[in-house]
């Protein structure tokens, strides 16, 4: 299968719609990358052409409703905090947070910033934190312990202030100062 490079049509908003490499009519929604002999070949196909050419979407076989999962967690959390679902839109693409929570997909790069508060809450709920901390090489954990402790105290301090636990916040602030002075 040798397809010419994908065509891209730009709308007045500046966003490109990639056309199918095969039919050149429909929007390409399936991107397939093939690496052979150290050469990378990309195919951009519409669903119809992908099906005709035998490309299968492995994710369609997995019945994991990510959108339903996100929607249930987010909707419940927002309703608890505000009493109703607030309509938040991305300023660039117009995607609403409700649409994101149903599909689990962002419309553009600005969505991350537009939905930051809701995403922070969602990540805390799912992972226990909104910050990813990777693993360290063996032997380096001792040198990273003060940094880990500092981050942990900062997170607890933010939570204490957010929950208006000011005595606890003062204790955490003092612990943080002590840690910083004794680095």
For residue range 65-80, list pLDDT tens digits in order: 555 555 555 555 555 5
142-167 average pLDDT score: 85
The reported pTM is: 0.34
pLDDT at 48 over 70: yes
Co-location of 122 and 78 in the same domain = yes
The confidence score (pLDDT) of residue 5 equals: 46
> Where is pLDDT greater, at 181 or 132?
181
The Cα 174–Cα 145 span in angstroms is: 18
Report yes or no on 136 lying in a domain.
Answer: no
Contacts of 111 (CB under 8 A, 6+ apart): 90, 92, 93, 95, 100
Range of the domain at 16: 8-61
| 31-35, 54-58, 162-166, 179-183 — most confident range | 162-166
Co-location of 15 and 54 in the same domain = yes
CATH code, domain carrying 13: 3.30.60
Number of domain units in the chain = 3
130-148 average pLDDT score: 66
């Amino acid at each position: 299968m040798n397809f010419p490079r994908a065509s891209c049509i730009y709308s007045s908003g500046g966003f490109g719609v990639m056309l199918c490499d095969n039919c050149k009519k429909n929007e390409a929604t399936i991107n397939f990358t093939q690496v052979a002999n150290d050469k990378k070949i990309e195919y951009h196909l519409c669903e119809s052409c992908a099906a005709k050419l035998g490309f299968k979407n492995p994710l369609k076989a997995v019945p994991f409703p990510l959108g339903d999962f996100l929607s249930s967690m987010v909707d419940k959390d927002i309703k608890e905090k505000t009493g109703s679902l607030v309509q938040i839109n991305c300023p660039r693409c117009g995607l609403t947070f409700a649409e994101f929570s149903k599909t689990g997909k962002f419309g553009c790069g600005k969505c991350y910033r537009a939905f930051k508060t809701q995403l922070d809450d969602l990540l805390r709920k799912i992972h226990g934190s909104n910050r990813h901390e990777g693993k360290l090489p063996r032997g380096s954990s001792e040198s990273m312990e003060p940094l880990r402790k500092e981050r942990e105290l900062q997170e607890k301090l933010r939570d204490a202030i957010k929950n208006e636990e000011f005595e606890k916040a003062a204790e955490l602030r003092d612990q943080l100062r002590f840690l910083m002075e004794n680095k």
